[in-house]
Amino acid sequence: MSAMLCLVAGALFCYVIVYYSVFRGARCSSSVKLNGKTAIVTGSNTGIGKTTALDLAKRGARVILACRNKGKAEAAAYDIRRESGNSQVVFMQLDLASFESVRCFAETFLKTEPRLDILINNAGVMGPGHTQDGFGMAFGVNHLGHFLLTNLLLEKLQQCGPSRVVTVAALLHRCGSADFPLLASKKDSVSGQSTWHNVRAYCNSKLFNVLFTRELANRLEGTSVTCYSLHPGVIYTELCRSMSLWLHLLLMPFAKLFFLDPEGGSQTTLYCALQEGIEPLSGRYFSNCAVQQVGAKGRDDALAKKLWELSERFTSIS
């Protein structure tokens, strides 16, 4: 019995060491206050988006929850206002799977809000289907929707500088690829709708997030707007809600033991949005609250420029 107890104790000790040294991740230690500032967080009705919005609200920011689901977003706004004591937390309708919705959101925001200091492109999906405009879901939501949103709000960000654009990518960008003939012909980065194709499409979209940030930084050089992409950590959130039941069952034990909770997963996003002194690192990729090297494709300026130009055509941005 004593040997079994020692074995269990040893296993728990090893788990704690691994969790806190590898999985738990760094914490954002910034004490910056945001009174008088305005932030938009997409996909902020749940998961790391909601936790990010809560932290910004606690710092005094006016926070716009840019979400598709009105009921869930209004409930999240209520929760954040109650917990933060900040009444300046509001919901605005945004469906990143619809260019019309993105344009409507931007038009409404620009008419009703006097400033924008932080734009956090947080929303993300992994799953089958197509957007309202006929694009693959991951490509259309994770990349094109945020590409269009950022461009429509860029002038306001420049007017209110110094300001920041933070885009949540993922370590899986290293597994991504950019097949431009396929993108041009099929309006998607993959050719099928199987689970494997959905995972590949997600990886590709995360590479596009990294490339978008890199090209955006090149175009904004010399302005008061900086931008960053990041890996938030391994988090088990509603991102995988469209996965099959067997994948959920397979992931759940690992998620409970090792994956970050939403608070832990929001730390690098907050670091990129708040940390002073990282302006010279605009366009770079962060993880664990520190700048990191990206995969070779994520450093390809020609690839980033080509993706930007294709995205301009797809979204009719001139």
Distance in angstroms (rounded) separating the CA atoms of residues 160 and 118: 10
Q: How many CB atoms lie within 10 A of CB 278?
A: 17
Q: Write out the two tokens for 125.
A: 């999906």
Q: How many CB atoms lie within 10 A of CB 192?
A: 12
**Residue 266 buriedness (CB in 10 A; 0-12 / 13-18 / 19+):** buried
**Residue 261 buriedness (CB in 10 A; 0-12 / 13-18 / 19+):** middle
Distance in angstroms (rounded) separating the CA atoms of residues 245 and 224: 46
* Residue corresponding to tokens 């954002």: 28
Residue 62, phi then psi, degrees to nearest 5: -80, 120
Distance in angstroms (rounded) separating the CA atoms of residues 41 and 175: 26
* CB neighbour burial string for 217-246, b if at least 16 within 10 angstroms, e if fewer: beebeeeebbbbbbbbbbbbbebbeebeee
* CB neighbour burial string for 134-171, b if at least 16 within 10 angstroms, e if fewer: ebbbbbbbbbbbbbbbbbbbbebbeebeebbbbbbbbb
Find the catalytic residue in 15, 20, 202, 228.
Answer: 202
202 is catalytic: yes
Catalytic (active-site) positions: 202
